[in-house]
Amino acid sequence: MSLQTVHLNLAGLTADQQVARLKEQHVFLRGKRALVRARVQELPVRQYISLLERGYRIGLEQEGGGFTLTLDPDGSTPRTGLRGAHSVVSHDDGRVYANTTDNRVAVIDGATRRLKKHIPTGDDPSHLELSGDGKRLYVANSGSNDVTIIDTTVDQVLTTVPTGKRPLLPCVASNGNAIYLPSGPERVVTVLGADGELRARIAVGIAPHDIAVSPDSRWAYQPNSASHTVTVIDGRNYSVAGEIKVGLGPGHIAFDQENRFAYVANTVSDDVTVIDVGSHEVVASIPGERGAHLPVISPDGRYGYVANFASDNLTVWNCHNHQVIASIPVGIYPHFFTLSTDGDWLVVSNTGESSVCIIDARQHEIRARLEVGLAPAHLAFSPDNECAFVGCESSDEVVVIDLRKQTIVESVKAGQLGPGSNLSQAEL
């Protein structure tokens, strides 16, 4: 069966309309060995990143005076339908939290791997973050435009506070004094105190994505995907200290532990911009591969990594000279990955094929590739680094992996009663 190419001209449509048309083509052409080539006019940053984030096998080409988005309907399994366990965090006492269906957060006992309770949130909870002392859990509710703050000493809601529209990943300063929540539609960052008191609303660039705060809490760096800049926010008074031009489509940022450098992954230009935090100046550019999106720095500061969404691999560089030293092939669409705190293991969620890669972080070699639930996304480690907890969005479960044995120990249903749970239906 030969590959058929479908040509579309979407130049006269809005960005949202272009995304909708491509999603329609994906449904219609899946399983038919087709390639969609959609002509657009301006650089389609929002469209490209939005479709990548959802797991579509999308490409971007420049042709003459315009651009072409390419879509391979059979190249990946996107995250559609059920919006279950996506974001996972691990408490120092072993509890694991995950967002789940019906506007709730699931609380899982990491030791017994049993569901303990559900905590109500706002509409469509998307991402979670714990405070440094573990006493507060912040839940960004993209559907109700607010953040739920949970007192983890009793696992009950403390308050729910309005934010900008569709708040993204909450970022908590290490000193615990501020929580930053970017809003893409409003181009602002809402800054809250630990218990939800409003500190500031800061205007930033176009399509702000995942904000990052330096380890000393001095600076917050806000990548703006569609204006190709990073807004520098002073963590002392929440004022804008400057704007840094970076690569195309910056999405995520990682600081080293010494507050020397910030690494900005640029999804459209397929590279990583290195910023000197002391001067807020660009000092290097590290080549990644297609769809470079999520950077991570090793706990000892020796190595940096970026997940390349569209080329299914990780690029590794030496943080001392910012030179690429390796490329690690993983599975389809590595949506999220992180390192264990002891620096031994690197775990990658391959969202496009529902698998997880376990990598020896000392040798940069894959030790196992495990099939997990549908659409694995964010993950966390147990306090002793013995286990990894992987949120699987489309099957709404948290998969528990024994890292030493490299086997799956349990799959905990986040949105329903688990075996051995003592919850009643009323508590759900």
pLDDT greater than 80 at residue 79: yes
Residue 270 confidence (pLDDT):
97
pLDDT at residue 113 is higher than 90: yes
Least confident interval from 54-63, 150-159, 222-231, 267-276: 54-63
Residue 1 above 60 pLDDT?
Answer: no
Residue 203 backbone dihedrals phi, psi, to 5 degrees: -75, 135
The arithmetic mean of pLDDT across residues 301-309, rounded, is 96
> Mind giving me the DSSP string for 235-300?
TTT--EEEEEE-SSSEEEEEE-TTSSEEEEEETTTTEEEEEETTTTEEEEEEE--TTEEEEEE-TT
Quick one: tokens of 48?
Answer: 């490209």
Query: What residue segments make up the domains of the chain, in order of their start?
Result: 4-71
The average pLDDT across 39-51 equals 92
Write the DSSP symbol of residue 31: T
pLDDT on residue 410: 95
User: Is pLDDT of 419 > 60?
Assistant: no
Helix (H, G, I), strand (E, B) or coil at 46: helix
3-class DSSP state of 73: coil
- The predicted model gives 390-406 an average pLDDT of 96
Nearest-angstrom CA–CA distance, 336 and 13:
31
Helices (H), 55-130: none
Range 4-71: architecture per CATH: 2-Layer Sandwich (3.30)
The predicted model gives 42-46 an average pLDDT of 91
Q: Which residues touch 99 (CB under 8 Å, ≥6 apart)?
A: 84, 85, 86, 87, 105, 106, 121, 125, 126, 127, 128, 139, 391
Per-residue pLDDT band at 83 (split at 50, 70, 90): confident
Segment 169-213, tens digit of pLDDT: 999 999 989 999 999 999 999 999 999 999 999 999 999 999 999
Query: Is the pLDDT score of 393 beyond 50?
Result: yes
Query: Which among 73-77, 341-345, 386-390, 413-417 has the top mean pLDDT?
Result: 386-390
Compute the half-sphere exposure of residue 344: CA atoms within 13 Å on the CB side of its CA.
10
pLDDT tens digits, 210-243: 999 999 999 999 999 999 999 999 999 999 999 9
Per-residue model confidence (pLDDT) at position 428: 38
**pLDDT given for residue 397 in this prediction:** 97
Q: What mean pLDDT is predicted for residues 253-262?
A: 96
Share of the chain above pLDDT 90, in %: 91
Please report where in the chains the tokens 């905590």 appear, as a residue: 119
Residue 201: its pLDDT value, please? 97
Separation of CA 292 from chain center: 12
pTM listed for this prediction: 0.94
Query: CA-CA distance, 296 to 187, in Å (whole number)?
Result: 25
User: 425 pLDDT exceeds 90?
Assistant: no
Q: Determine the Cα–Cα distance for residues 255 and 25; give it in Å rounded to an integer.
A: 39
In this structure, are residues 187 and 205 in contact, taking their beta carbons and an 8 Å threshold?
yes
